[in-house]
Amino acid sequence: MFRKIARWLVTISSFALVAEPGGASEATYAKATFAGGCFWCIEAAFDKTDGVKEAISGYTGGHKENPTYEEVSTGKTGHLEAVQIIYDPSRVGYEELLDIFWQQIDPTDSTGQFVDKGSQYRTAIFYHNDEQKHIAEESKRSLESSGRFDRPIVTEIRPAVTFYRAEEYHQDYYRKNESRYEFYRSRSGREQYRSPCAAGVCPVPGREKQPEEGGIDESELKARLTPLQYHVTREQGTERPFQNEYWDNKREGIYVDVVSGEVLFSSRDKFESGTGWPSFTRPLKPENIVERKDTGHGMVRTEVRSRSGGSHLGHVFDDGPLPTRQRYCMNSAALRFIPREDLRKEGYGEYEKYF
């Protein structure tokens, strides 16, 4: 069945704490569990999140002990495909994880997710403590009253129960089987889906910065952006090297998507590449970055887009400096720079800790 090449379920487990060895510097981790359809895709979304130690694909919510994938796929075990997340609460909050989850799913579909239909593909939030329950319930109510969706929100909020780790071949599937994963994702309907939350417009409790109402409207963008900004972000254009705003910017601060305002890069990871475009060794928020194969202009490259805004940002290459050896070569026209001293005023106060 086509869905056998797809799995995605987001499991964010709660505050079951795990201590990692290390004496005085030992870190305390929490759990979160989400179900969002095919767990391959949900695991991929959280794996790249700063502060997430591990995202594990598995099964939960059913009555069968130690179920196999084949058993869960019948829809008779009561289990949902899910992802359990082990994260550092001092680096990423439950609210942020919940925000990422809502962006991945269609919370109005009671029959599954995208091409994958069946009870095992339904969406759910499994809370691990009362605080997670409260945040999840408030978030769902906010979504329901936001008017962003034209159908009821059916994502369940349930207490966490035993989580069963899926077979090893399902773990990190998006990395171990990149071609098959991309084939599934592009044909499942998930890649094409644009969540009403994708521009960060859905209200999530605890988020300091709330985006503007209305989401992304192309006519509004044409009026708001300069011709060059629109050409770069919406038409996959490229600005001139050495003749752009940020190629030689040395001030401390963060770079956000000029369209959606989502956080992308930090000045701490910026370096002089000699190319004439702003270059970074890594994203500040990897979960806000989408990488795709680009075969245009007779070349094979990796395009970089913003997840929420869908903006074309530039390309990433494997010729950067240590420690990542990556060069994220971006267009200044796709970015907006927020100086360190203006972070709180602009609503990005949580990023002051990086400087």
Q: Which residues are catalytic?
A: 38, 329
The Cα–Cα gap between 190 and 202 comes to 19
Query: Can you name the residues that pair with 52 across neighbouring β-strands?
Result: 87
Neighbours of 257 (CB within 10 A): 24
Is 255 within 8 Å of 266 (Cβ atoms)?
yes
**R_g over Cα of the chain:** 20
The Cα–Cα gap between 77 and 132 comes to 26
- The per-residue b/e assignment along 120-133, b for 16 or more CB within 10 angstroms, e otherwise, is bbbbbbbbbeeebb
From the list 217, 249, 244, the residue with the least C-alpha distance to 333 is 244
The Cα–Cα gap between 169 and 180 comes to 13
Neighbours of 336 (CB within 10 A): 18
The Cα–Cα gap between 119 and 124 comes to 11
As a whole number of Å, the end-to-end CA separation of the chain is 50
